[in-house]
A and B are shown apart, each in its own frame.
Chain A
Amino acid sequence: MSGGGTVAPRRPPGGGRVSRRWLVALAFLGPALVLLGAIVIYPIVFTVFRSFYDRAGDAFVGMDNYQQMFASQRTRTAIKNNMIWVAVAPAIATGVGLIVAVLAERVRWQTAFKVAVFMPMAISGLATGVIFRLVYETEPERGLANAVVTTVAGTFRSSGEYAGARPSQEDALQPAGMGYLTADTFSPGDTAPLGLLAIRPSEVPDSAEEAVLPQAGAGELAGAVWLDFSRGGGGERGVPDPTEVGLPGMRVEALQAERVVAATEARADGTFVFTGLEPGDYRLRLAEANFRPPWGGVNWLSPTLVTPAVIAAWLWIWVGFAMIVIGAGLAAIPRDVLEAARVDGASEWQVFRRVTAPLLIPVLLVVLVTLVINVLKIFDLVLVIPPGSVQDNANVIALEMWRVSFGGARNQGLGSALSVFLFLLVLPAMAFNIKRFRSERR
């Protein structure tokens, strides 16, 4: 519009030209104004208007919708969750994006790496939601998250192969923690039969062979651990019968005065032998590790973990965005400034902290604020990932607005009030970004 002013000196007295100039201006601005008005201004004004009316839009109810909104437990959970989102998600995304961007600069296949990290941005939020719904499946066989967690945990704390087994003769083997300890003592030369029950045949390793009770050689303490259960019934308790199989891999420990002095593993036929034991009395123990039940992993979509889980999915998408924008900021820092700092005596960390980071602050702020706006409006992931039963726990304002307006209640008055509230929350962040862009242009 200021362009009109430049012809001002040539304007003759009288208003004839003024109206013409206005007409020209209107002709140029008209289409944009109409579009903006129809798809931006009008919906906003109408929504504000609508928020003062009841569910059907017939009766004016004043501030009732707003009162009801803040009175509702669901809305309060939504506001609380939104606050968690705003406080946590953008900061982590920016931080991780910064780290990834800095490290990516040093990677040989920088571009390929960046593309890989950025890729999730290309996937629709809904599809991401579906993907992560699967990732968070509780069964380790189906859910990637639990598969990873249980595998990692398994390497530190292996679960036993014979979880749930119990002795065939309860007086011979007594529970000791999760393992079992013989009631009797044995000496070198003795043979110890250690029969177990309650192991499904499918759980017995394929390598298992027919169980035998070995003869102990001189100075040896021998024995057998086997599944003391004959298929089709029959068989004698405490003695390996022909159809019974050994329990290979079972860890057997020899104890003297409550201390483990030797340990061995059962062979395929269930036999085990301790050699080189001092003469004396020993008790045998089937180690706890044999019977430890496998760990089922984490219930990611439980009420307490569902919000962090959805945030993690969101991060998967948006770290790529943060990385690309911050990476561009990094590239804009002159190389020689960093080199100057190195020559000046800065270690790599000091270069980062005292030069790179301060020079990146404007970029980091823009990324952070952009992500805050994004997070305030978060909707799709929260709709898709949490199962219906925990949706109330994962609720956010945008989702609540949708549920109230178009879910069972169809209360569009309340829904409008919620969207007005969300709009007010986003405004300051928008104002900040616009101000930044303006000052940058200067």
Chain B
Amino acid sequence: MLEGVEKVYPDGTQAVADLHLSIGDGEFIVLVGPSGCGKTTALRMVAGLEEISGGQVRIGDRVVNGVPPKDRDIAMVFQNYALYPHLSVRENMGFGLKLRKVPAAEIDKRVEEAGRILGLEDLLDRKPRNLSGGQRQRVAMGRAIVREPQAFLMDEPLSNLDAKLRVQMRAEIARIQRDLDVTTLYVTHDQTEAMTMGDRVAVMRKGLLQQVDAPQVLYDRPDNVFVAGFIGSPAMNMVQASIETSNGATFVCLGDQRLRIADELLAARPALAAYEGRKVVLGIRPEEMEDAACAGENPDDRRLRATVDLVEQMGSEAYVHFSLKAPPVLTDDTRELASDVGLDDQLERRGEKATTAMVARVSPRTRAAKGDSIDLVVDTGRLHFFDIDSSLAVWGDPDRAATTTTTKT
């Protein structure tokens, strides 16, 4: 339970600002955001490793602001595992219990049990330096498990593992957490981990909480451009567009092309009507586009024509990178999202040429090739619209808009 927590470093840098986050019993919350967004700082404040500059952190009913980490009854898994190099696996896991003067027999029992859960039975008497990365990661988990704490705090525990092991441990941690039913706060910069593991996901940016919701809600109804672009892979395409109506139908215009907005979407986003004739940010997820040649019959007003830059065949699907003749969105959010994947300079170059780089996830049977012109069918019932100035999603649900404005400053 975090109430208006903030962290200001002595040099005046504000790492975390006014963070409100309430975590239910046994809930798995993932804090996600690009590097430097303050998520680790927030976690360390909960752990007591970082001083709290403002607000309150409560664990259970207890305000723990001034409580040293040892008295907070939490266990933490570190990014680099932070195993005690001079102790064996068994001693590493039993360390916390030994400090609490738990009887040796009980320590043994719990360590063996944790070793069994994690498949470490044969390694208990080894030293950490004789373990592989994945094994060390398990020991770090074991060290947290045997403590039976009120909460687990995990600071990017999988980022030092190779891709395959990461997928495996991801499932394992989620399973263990569910089995033990311990409240968990998990920090990661990997949105896949966030989506797959969390009961709820909290997206942070520059010390500010952007949105906290279940993964699917985050994906379907992102509150702002940043969340929309951060969640989902490949990322949502953002392009400047404007809203027009003609003949009783509402269209969104991208450059010289236009898409007819599905009626049910208009119904779901009543506020969109107010944007007629104005510029908006249009978001299209790559998976909501399809090569027209591979799709069934589709009316013309749901198609986009563009030039293919690159086709990536993944086997089960194909990513078509294309340029659309429409100005890209150049806001702080999109800049930060681009720089998170190292493409910030490309975004600026595109801005000068008024073309937008986009990705579509299409059927692997697409015949599109580099340099071709392609027709893409867009699922116009699942378009996203954002205010170009405030970056907030255009919904028309006043309550929702109000809550999101408070998290923005």
* Chain B associates with chain A: yes
Q: Are A345 and B82 in contact, with the CB atoms below 8 A? A: no
In the complex, which residues of chain B have a beta carbon less than 8 angstroms from the beta carbon of A347? 68, 70
Partner of B49, one of A339, A344, A350, A354: A339
Kindly name the residue among A337, A344, A346, A347 whose own CB sees the greatest number of chain B CB atoms within 10 A. A344
Q: Are A340 and B82 in contact, with the CB atoms below 8 A? A: yes
Q: Does A37 contact B (CB under 8 A)?
A: no
Q: Does B48 contact A (CB under 8 A)?
A: yes
Segment 59-77 of B: residues with Cβ below 8 Å from A: 68-72, 74-76
Q: Are A339 and B78 in contact, with the CB atoms below 8 A? A: yes
User: What is the 8 Å Cβ interface bit string for chain B, positions 33-54, against chain A (1 contact, 0 not)?
Assistant: 0000000000000011100000
Partner of A344, one of B85, B86, B95: B95
In the complex, which residues of chain B have a beta carbon less than 8 angstroms from the beta carbon of A337? 82-85
Q: Are A340 and B76 in contact, with the CB atoms below 8 A? A: yes
Partner of A350, one of B74, B85, B99, B153: B99
In the complex, which residues of chain B have a beta carbon less than 8 angstroms from the beta carbon of A355? 84, 86
Given A336-B78, A336-B80, A350-B99: A343 and B86 interface contact (C-beta under 8 Å): no
Q: Are A359 and B86 in contact, with the CB atoms below 8 A? A: yes
Q: How far is the CA of A350 from the CA of B71 in the complex (A)?
A: 14
Q: Does B96 contact A (CB under 8 A)?
A: yes
Partner of B75, one of A339, A344, A350, A358: A344
Q: How far is the CA of A359 from the CA of B80 in the complex (A)?
A: 17
Nearest-neighbour CB distance to chain A for B297, whole angstroms, equals 59
Q: Are B68 and A342 in contact, with the CB atoms below 8 A? A: yes
In the complex, which residues of chain B have a beta carbon less than 8 angstroms from the beta carbon of A359? 85-86
In the complex, which residues of chain B have a beta carbon less than 8 angstroms from the beta carbon of A104? none
Partner of A358, one of B70, B86, B99, B100: B86
Nearest-neighbour CB distance to chain A for B283, whole angstroms, equals 39
User: What is the 8 Å Cβ interface bit string for chain A, positions 323-340, against chain B (1 contact, 0 not)?
Assistant: 000000000001011011
Partner of A343, one of B70, B79, B80, B85: B70
In the complex, which residues of chain B have a beta carbon less than 8 angstroms from the beta carbon of A199? none
Q: Does A341 contact B (CB under 8 A)?
A: yes
Q: Does B361 contact A (CB under 8 A)?
A: no
Cβ-closest chain A residue relative to B49: A339
Partner of A340, one of B48, B78, B100: B78
In the complex, which residues of chain A have a beta carbon less than 8 angstroms from the beta carbon of B47? 339, 343
In the complex, which residues of chain B have a beta carbon less than 8 angstroms from the beta carbon of A343? 47-49, 69-70, 72, 74-76, 153
Cβ-closest chain B residue relative to A358: B86
Q: Does B260 contact A (CB under 8 A)?
A: no
Nearest-neighbour CB distance to chain A for B133, whole angstroms, equals 15
Nearest-neighbour CB distance to chain B for A183, whole angstroms, equals 68
Nearest-neighbour CB distance to chain B for A193, whole angstroms, equals 67
Given A347-B70, A358-B86: A342 and B99 interface contact (C-beta under 8 Å): no
Q: How far is the CA of A354 from the CA of B92 in the complex (A)?
A: 11
Q: Does B7 contact A (CB under 8 A)?
A: no
Q: How far is the CA of A350 from the CA of B70 in the complex (A)?
A: 11
Q: Are B86 and A345 in contact, with the CB atoms below 8 A? A: no
In the complex, which residues of chain B have a beta carbon less than 8 angstroms from the beta carbon of A350? 99
Q: Are A342 and B70 in contact, with the CB atoms below 8 A? A: yes
In the complex, which residues of chain A have a beta carbon less than 8 angstroms from the beta carbon of B82? 334, 336-337, 339-340
Nearest-neighbour CB distance to chain A for B302, whole angstroms, equals 53
Q: Are B80 and A334 in contact, with the CB atoms below 8 A? A: yes
Cβ-closest chain A residue relative to B140: A340
In the complex, which residues of chain B have a beta carbon less than 8 angstroms from the beta carbon of A339? 47, 49, 69, 76, 78, 82
In the complex, which residues of chain B have a beta carbon less than 8 angstroms from the beta carbon of A336? 78-80, 82
Nearest-neighbour CB distance to chain B for A362, whole angstroms, equals 10
In the complex, which residues of chain A have a beta carbon less than 8 angstroms from the beta carbon of B68? 342, 347
Nearest-neighbour CB distance to chain A for B183, whole angstroms, equals 15
Q: Are B99 and A345 in contact, with the CB atoms below 8 A? A: yes
Q: How far is the CA of A359 from the CA of B127 in the complex (A)?
A: 13
Partner of B70, one of A334, A346, A354: A346
Q: Are B99 and A346 in contact, with the CB atoms below 8 A? A: yes
Q: Are B96 and A344 in contact, with the CB atoms below 8 A? A: yes
Q: How far is the CA of A334 from the CA of B80 in the complex (A)?
A: 9
Q: How far is the CA of A342 from the CA of B75 in the complex (A)?
A: 10
Q: How far is the CA of A337 from the CA of B139 in the complex (A)?
A: 13
User: What is the 8 Å Cβ interface bit string for chain B, positions 257-285, against chain A (1 contact, 0 not)?
Assistant: 00000000000000000000000000000
Cβ-closest chain B residue relative to A355: B84
Segment 88-119 of B: residues with Cβ below 8 Å from A: 95-96, 99-100
Q: How far is the CA of A93 from the CA of B54 in the complex (A)?
A: 44
Q: How far is the CA of A345 from the CA of B100 in the complex (A)?
A: 7
Nearest-neighbour CB distance to chain B for A278, whole angstroms, equals 58
Q: How far is the CA of A339 from the CA of B47 in the complex (A)?
A: 9
Nearest-neighbour CB distance to chain B for A178, whole angstroms, equals 54
Q: How far is the CA of A177 from the CA of B147 in the complex (A)?
A: 68
Nearest-neighbour CB distance to chain A for B395, whole angstroms, equals 41
Kindly name the residue among A339, A347, A354, A358 whose own CB sees the greatest number of chain B CB atoms within 10 A. A339
Q: Does B205 contact A (CB under 8 A)?
A: no
Q: How far is the CA of A337 from the CA of B83 in the complex (A)?
A: 6
In the complex, which residues of chain B have a beta carbon less than 8 angstroms from the beta carbon of A340? 76, 78, 82-84, 143
In the complex, which residues of chain B have a beta carbon less than 8 angstroms from the beta carbon of A345? 70-71, 96, 99-100, 147
In the complex, which residues of chain A have a beta carbon less than 8 angstroms from the beta carbon of B99? 344-346, 350, 354
Q: How far is the CA of A343 from the CA of B153 in the complex (A)?
A: 10
Cβ-closest chain A residue relative to B95: A344
Cβ-closest chain A residue relative to B91: A354
Segment 295-339 of B: residues with Cβ below 8 Å from A: none
Q: Are B85 and A342 in contact, with the CB atoms below 8 A? A: no
Q: How far is the CA of A197 from the CA of B68 in the complex (A)?
A: 67
Q: How far is the CA of A336 from the CA of B47 in the complex (A)?
A: 12
Q: How far is the CA of A341 from the CA of B78 in the complex (A)?
A: 11
Q: Are B95 and A341 in contact, with the CB atoms below 8 A? A: yes
Nearest-neighbour CB distance to chain A for B140, whole angstroms, equals 8
Q: Are A342 and B84 in contact, with the CB atoms below 8 A? A: no
Q: How far is the CA of A117 from the CA of B68 in the complex (A)?
A: 32
Kindly name the residue among A339, A340, A342, A358 whose own CB sees the greatest number of chain B CB atoms within 10 A. A340
In the complex, which residues of chain A have a beta carbon less than 8 angstroms from the beta carbon of B143? 340, 344
Would you give 12 A-B contacts (Cβ < 8 Å), ordered by A?
A334-B80, A336-B79, A337-B84, A339-B82, A340-B83, A341-B84, A343-B153, A347-B70, A354-B95, A355-B84, A358-B86, A359-B86
Give 10 nearest A-B pairs by CB, closest first: A344-B96, A336-B82, A340-B82, A343-B76, A345-B70, A342-B69, A345-B99, A358-B86, A336-B78, A343-B69
B interface, CB within 8 angstroms of A: 47-49, 68-72, 74-76, 78-80, 82-86, 95-96, 99-100, 143, 147, 153
Given contacts A340-B82, A344-B147, 18 further A-B contacts (CB under 8 A): A336-B78, A336-B80, A339-B78, A340-B78, A342-B49, A342-B68, A343-B48, A343-B69, A343-B70, A343-B74, A344-B75, A344-B95, A344-B143, A345-B96, A346-B99, A347-B68, A358-B86, A359-B85
